[in-house]
């Protein structure tokens, strides 16, 4: 499967930002079902068509009601299509695998925004979710080592990782002294930050965009009322 060249979308984004040209990834795939992870999104696509998501230039992130579904599906695709999780970052993933992930996203979402911005945002999200997944697996590994033993942990991967993926991470990272030293340093630096995220499961960009849209709507209503007076 290949991605077609960007085309102008049929309708503008709902935001009041007039600046970015619109971008739409079109799929050439006829697949209508995915694997069990992310199947809820596929059900919505089958029922109503691709889900519209705007990539906002002002936040460099997806916004509006389907943004969370997009991010979740990126995570599903990144995890399910990688043969190995022992990657330094998303740039180290081979081109063929990255194209499959992006194509599967294109099969389900209509992405609006500047072409370069959309590409950058998708790759950034893939990288962050890959890192987040590896971190969660590391936490699971440490708990198994503490509650049982290193040998037990090595032979008991969690459900979201194969034995090969699991042991590659153990050998390549979690028992590698150089990696552990860097990890401890990063963890210490992270604890120095004092900011707190208070948006719950909703991304900050989505929250801010909703607030701005609300105030624009309120302003339009007030203007309409003043015109009627």
Can you give the residue range of the structural domain that contains 135?
39-187
Rounded Cα distance between 167 and 174, Å, is 10
Which tens digits make up the pLDDT trace of 105-117? Answer: 888 898 888 888 8
> What is the count of structural domains for the chain?
1
Residue 23: which residues within 8 A CB-CB, separation 6 or more? 6, 7, 9, 55, 111, 112, 113, 114, 115, 117, 118
With beta carbons less than 8 A apart as the criterion, state whether 129 and 105 touch.
no
Rounded Cα distance between 153 and 7, Å, is 49
Q: Is residue 20 part of a domain?
A: no
The pTM is what? 0.63
Q: Is residue 228 part of a domain?
A: no
Q: Which of 75-89, 165-179, 195-209 has the lowest mean pLDDT?
A: 195-209
In this predicted structure, the answer to whether residue 226 has a pLDDT above a threshold of 50 is yes
Q: Is residue 27 part of a domain?
A: no
94 by Cβ neighbours in 10 Å (0-12 / 13-18 / 19+) ranks as: exposed
Rounded Cα distance between 65 and 55, Å, is 12
Q: Using pLDDT thresholds of 50, 70 and 90, give the confidence band for residue 118.
A: confident
Q: Is residue 101 part of a domain?
A: yes
Q: Using pLDDT thresholds of 50, 70 and 90, give the confidence band for residue 151.
A: very high
Q: Is residue 12 part of a domain?
A: no
Q: Is residue 125 part of a domain?
A: yes
Mean pLDDT, the chain, integer: 76
In this predicted structure, the answer to whether residue 149 has a pLDDT above a threshold of 90 is yes
Q: What is the pLDDT of residue 74?
A: 87
Q: What is the pLDDT of residue 62?
A: 84
What's the token pair of residue 22? 């619109």
Which tens digits make up the pLDDT trace of 190-199? Answer: 777 766 555 5
Q: What is the pLDDT of residue 116?
A: 87
What's the token pair of residue 10? 């049929």
- What DSSP letter does each residue of 51-76 carry, written as one string? EEEEEETTTTEEESTTHHHHHHHHHH
Q: Is residue 86 part of a domain?
A: yes
Under DSSP, the state recorded for 125 is H
Q: Is residue 218 part of a domain?
A: no
| Total residues found in the chain within this entry | 229
CB atoms within 10 A of CB 69: 18
Residue 148: which residues within 8 A CB-CB, separation 6 or more? 156
Rounded Cα distance between 167 and 46, Å, is 38
The top-scoring range by mean pLDDT among 23-32, 150-159, 183-192, 211-220 is 150-159
Which tens digits make up the pLDDT trace of 8-54? Answer: 344 434 444 443 333 343 434 434 333 455 677 878 888 878 888 88
Sign of CA dihedral 32, 33, 38, 43: positive
**Residue 103 host element (H or E):** helix 95-108
Q: Using pLDDT thresholds of 50, 70 and 90, give the confidence band for residue 217.
A: low
CA distances 220 to 17, 28, 224, Å, are 16, 41, 6
With beta carbons less than 8 A apart as the criterion, state whether 130 and 85 touch.
yes
């Amino acid at each position: 499967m290949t991605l077609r060249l960007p085309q102008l979308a049929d309708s503008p984004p709902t935001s009041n930002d007039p600046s970015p040209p619109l971008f739409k990834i079109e799929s050439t795939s006829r697949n209508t079902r995915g694997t069990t992870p992310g199947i809820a999104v596929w059900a919505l696509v089958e029922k109503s068509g691709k889900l519209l998501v705007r990539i906002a230039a002002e936040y460099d992130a997806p916004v509006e009601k389907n943004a969370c579904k997009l991010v979740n599906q990126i995570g599903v695709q990144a995890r399910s299509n990688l043969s190995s999780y022992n990657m330094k970052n998303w740039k180290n993933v081979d081109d063929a695998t990255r194209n499959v992930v992006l194509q599967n996203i294109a099969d389900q979402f209509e992405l609006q925004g500047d072409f370069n911005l959309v590409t950058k945002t998708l790759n950034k999200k893939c990288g962050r979710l890959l890192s987040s997944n590896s971190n969660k697996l590391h936490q699971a590994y440490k708990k198994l080592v503490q509650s049982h033993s290193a040998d037990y942990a090595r032979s008991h991967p969690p459900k979201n990782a194969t034995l090969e993926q699991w042991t590659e991470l153990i050998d390549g990272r979690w028992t590698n002294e150089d990696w552990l030293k860097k990890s401890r340093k990063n963890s210490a630096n992270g604890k120095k930050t004092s900011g707190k995220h208070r948006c719950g499961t909703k991304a900050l960009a989505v929250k801010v965009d909703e607030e701005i849209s609300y105030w624009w709507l309120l302003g339009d209503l007030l203007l309409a009322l003043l015109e009627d007076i």
